[in-house]
Amino acid sequence: MRVAVIGTGYVGLVQGAAFADVNHNVTCVDKIKAKIDHLNEFCEGKRNDLPILEPDLPRLVKENYDKKRLRFTTDINEAVKEAKIIFIAVGTPANEDGSANLNHVRNVAHDIGKAMNYESETPIYKIIVTKSTVPPMTYKMVHDAIAEETKNEFDVVSNPEFLAEGRAVKDCLRPSRIVVGTSNAKAASIMDELYAPFKDREVSIMFMSNIDAEIVKYASNTYLAAQVSLTNAMANLSRELGADWRKVLEGVKKDARVGRFVYAGLGFGGSCFPKDVRELIHTMSQHRPGTADLEYVEMIVKQNEAQKELFLPRIEKYYNSIEGKKLAVWGTAFKPETDDTRESAGVHMIKELLLKGAYVSAYEPSGSEQAMFTLSLDEKIKPHLSRLSFVSDMYEAVKDAEGVVITVEWNDFRNPDFLQVKKLLKKPVIFDGKDILNPRQMKEEGFDYFSVGRPDVLGHTK
Ligand SMILES: NC(=O)c1ccc[n+]([C@@H]2O[C@H](COP(=O)([O-])OP(=O)(O)OC[C@H]3O[C@@H](n4cnc5c(N)ncnc54)[C@H](O)[C@@H]3O)[C@@H](O)[C@H]2O)c1
């Protein structure tokens, strides 16, 4: 089947390559020429990296490009003309008030409508699929925007994406489920054909209305975000009472009804949970104002924002003041196996430390580009950037620092060479924002150690 995917970010690029991998003929489109050039240069062997870091994606893209099932262009007209199914996979960032900014989606819908007005001997019929995460009822907006531009026949299908960064290729090749929202039998049957190869992988395809499908995505992410905030609330209580959340968990997790997001941390980040829960709050405030339901969802965000602030007061208390002191930060991606730093605990931590007058030496295994870009856009941070250095080695980062803050559970940080870390640090102090180290070992190694869900350890300052 001929497919066009508009937007080649974390979702569009991976999903486009996954469709090509099951033998569809895919054209990926982006408005950023530099991105398309980058992708083409990678495929032609002129460079080694893709615009995003995602395990196994380079192989998937290259193999399917070589088999001529995947190509990249900025020409949306050509892509729409050739395709039967057109996916919209552009960004839907949050507006100031928490609502989703649908400008990219709207613009693409208009562009698709215009591109459908080509000469054809046979009647033109297309399926336009929203893959982007969009608020309930957006399918109507997409429909109206396309209808403003063309008289040709089309249907709008809502097909939310559930991939998780860091395992996006696995998720797209074998999705947990495929949700197809349409009330139109013809569109449903074509979507069934598109996804047929996934049925052989025992993936269930669920058909429902557009509005059902749109809400599935928000409900799923809100369930997961609620688990994270509840986990952190329980971990904080454990620490305060001198209990070890990891031990408590051993008991809690035995109940199969308890979810997966049970490890304590510095709150959820990334490009999805924070913005999607805020968008749900925006939708709820319109349709369920003044209800406990709304307050309940609001509390998820409130707890998460408080969780992000968990370490700074404890760091300041420990040092009395951090002004002029150098601290190391390990990790700026919002989770391991991705380079995405959107709403990450690491970037947040760097900002807080810089604003308090500290010098920061940071290391991120996936590279410093994204974090530096985000930080350089922040007007409040700009004047402090001279006190930030990114280094390309985790041990170099801790050299002459007063302590190290871990914000992501990259494998490198789980079992560092403690002897070396201790030798390089000015003072052996670790703030572990992901509870990945062992407090007993920290005491034995002679570190002062602070975590999220375990009592403080004073292995150095006895
Ligand atoms: N990242 C995730 O883990 C994830 C998971 C599930 C769903 N989603 C949702 O999928 C959508 C895309 O997310 P993402 O992380 O891939 O975003 P992204 O910002 O990484 O990529 C979006 C791409 O769309 C392109 N674009 C914007 N306007 C365009 C236009 N008019 N024409 C062509 N290209 C255009 C941008 O240049 C960019 O390359 C969002 O709605 C997001 O909420 C994301």
Residues 351-377 pLDDT 10s: 999 999 999 999 999 999 999 999 999
428 strand-pairing partners: none
Are 272 and 297 members of one domain?
yes
- For residue 14 and ligand 1, the question of a CB distance below 6 A is answered with no
Domain count, the chain: 3
pLDDT at residue 462 is higher than 80: no
Pocket test for ligand 1, best of 27, 271, 277 (most atoms within 8 A of CB): 271
Query: What's the 358 CA to ligand 1 centre distance in angstroms?
Result: 35
CATH number of the domain where residue 242 is located:
1.10.1040.10
31 lines ligand 1 (CB under 6 A): yes
Same domain? 265 vs 130: no
> Residue 432's domain is classified under what CATH number?
3.40.50.720
H helix or E strand, kind and range, residue 188 = helix 185-199
3-state secondary structure of 102: coil
pLDDT in tens, 118-162: 999 999 999 999 999 999 999 999 999 999 999 999 999 999 999
36 and 167 part of one domain? yes
CA distances from 105 to 146, 221, 250, 405, 410 (A): 11, 20, 44, 38, 34
Residue 292 has pLDDT above 80, yes or no: yes
**Domain limit, last residue, from 265, 287, 307:** 307
With a 6 Å cutoff on the Cβ, whether 132 touches ligand 1 is yes
State the DSSP string of 2-71: EEEEE--SHHHHHHHHHHHHTT-EEEEE-S-HHHHHHHHHHHTTS-S--SS--TTHHHHHHHHHHTTSEE
Q: What are phi and psi of 166, to 5 degrees?
A: 95, -20
Instruction: State which of 278, 307, 336 marks the end of a domain.
Output: 307
- Give the pLDDT confidence of 70-103 residue by residue, as tens digits: 999 999 999 999 999 999 999 999 999 999 999 9
Domain co-membership, 137 together with 159: yes
Mean pLDDT on 106-123 = 97
Residue pLDDT, tens place only, 382-408: 999 999 999 999 999 999 999 999 999
pLDDT band, residue 324 (cuts 50/70/90):
very high
Rounded Cα distance, 280 and 295, in Å: 12
Q: Is 272 a catalytic residue?
A: yes
CA of 428 from ligand 1 middle (Å) equals 42
The closest of 330, 350, 336 to 409, measured between CA atoms, is: 336
Whether the Cβ atoms of residue 168 and residue 54 lie closer than 8 Å to each other: yes
Same domain, 223 and 199: no
Rounded Cα–Cα distance for residues 242 and 33 (Å): 55
Cα(389)–Cα(398) distance, rounded to whole angstroms?
12
Regarding the beta carbon of 107 and ligand 1, being less than 6 Å apart is answered yes
* CA distances to 228, 259, 261 from 223, in Å: 9, 9, 10
**Continuous segment of H or E residues that includes residue 355:** helix 345-355
Residues 267, 168 share a domain: no
Last residue of a domain, one of 208, 233, 267: 208
Q: Determine the distance separating the centroid of ligand 1 and the alpha carbon of 9, expressed in angstroms.
A: 5
- pLDDT grade, residue 176 (50/70/90)? very high
Q: Are residues 277 and 323 in the same domain?
A: no
Segment 37-48 shows an average pLDDT of 98
State the chain's maximal CA–CA distance in angstroms: 84
Atom of ligand 1 nearest to the CA of 108: 31
How confident is the model at residue 151, as a pLDDT?
Answer: 97
pLDDT of residue 40: 98
SS (H, E, C) 239-301: HHCCCCHHHHHHHHCCCCCCCCCCCCCCCCCCCCHHHHHHHHHHHHHHHCCCCHHHHHHHHHH
Q: Average per-residue pLDDT in the chain?
A: 97
Domain residues for 136?
Answer: 2-208
Is the pLDDT at 202 greater than 90? The verdict is no
Rounded to an integer, what is the distance from CA 148 to the centroid of its chain? 33
- 74 CB less than 6 Å from ligand 1? no
> pLDDT per residue over 249-278, tens digit each?
999 999 999 988 999 999 999 999 999 999
Domain match, 66 and 204 both: yes
For residues 404 and 397, give the distance between their C-alpha atoms in angstroms, rounded to a whole number.
9
Phi first, then psi: give them for residue 41, nearest 5 degrees. Answer: -65, -40
For residue 200, the model assigns a pLDDT of 86
Q: What is the residue whose two structure tokens read 């002191």?
A: 325
Rounded to two decimals, what is the model's pTM?
Answer: 0.95
Residue type, 274: P
The answer to whether residues 31 and 180 belong to one domain is: yes
- 409 lies in the same domain as 298: no
193 Cβ contact list (under 8 Å, min separation 6): 1
Residues in the chain: 462
Q: Does residue 216's CB lie within 6 angstroms of at least one atom of ligand 1?
A: no
Same domain as 99, residue 224: no
Q: Nearest residue CA, atom 21 of ligand 1?
A: 9
Question: 152 near 118, Cβ under 8 Å?
Answer: no
Separation CA 333–CA 356 (nearest Å)? 22
Residues 263, 376 within the same domain: no
Distance CA 251, CA 297 (A): 27
Sheet holding 2-6, edge to edge: 70-73, 25-29, 2-6, 85-88, 125-130, 153-158, 178-181, 205-208
| Residue 158, H or E segment | strand 153-158
